[in-house]
Amino acid sequence: MIESSFPVARPGWLDRAGVILSGLCMVHCLAGLFLIGMLGIGGGLLLDPAIHRIGLVLALGIGAATIGANALRHGRRLPLALGTAGLALMAGAVASDHGAGEAVMTIAGVLMLASAHIVNLRCAPHRLRQSTR
């Protein structure tokens, strides 16, 4: 069997990408709160609704592709429940007005989604096969 060096061939790469994107989203939220709240700068770029909509679309796509698909494979519901709740919070934040409430909802959603990706990686079938060797 020929092994590919492309990231698509590595199991769990989308979950890892989801964790990284979740971290970047949280940094964006915290930096936005700091720069706007403490320094009064950066509002135009950091509060641009397009950034939040694009982030939500990416989170939905990666979440569905990894958490949903792997939940069907490994049968564990925890990643699916965490991911769904996290995405719901993130969607609610995108639909709400900018401010502290939106940031809290987004950060809580991102933490739940990142946790779902981590649990999903630990439950993945390729890990189960490796642990029995």
Find the distance separating the first CA and the last CA of the chain, reported in whole Å: 19
Report pLDDT for 115.
Answer: 92
Per-residue pLDDT at 131 exceeds 50: no
Contact 106, 55 (CB under 8 A): no
Q: What is the CA radius of gyration of the chain?
A: 17
Q: Is the pLDDT of residue 13 over 80?
A: yes
The band of 132, judged by pLDDT with boundaries at 50, 70 and 90, is very low
Q: For position 42, what pLDDT does the model report? A: 58
> Helices then strands (H, E): number in the chain?
7, 0
Structure tokens at 126: 């390729």
For residue range 19-48, list pLDDT tens digits in order: 888 888 888 777 777 776 666 665 566 667
Contact 23, 114 (CB under 8 A): yes
User: pTM score, two decimals?
Assistant: 0.71
**Phi and psi, residue 12, nearest 5°:** 85, 0
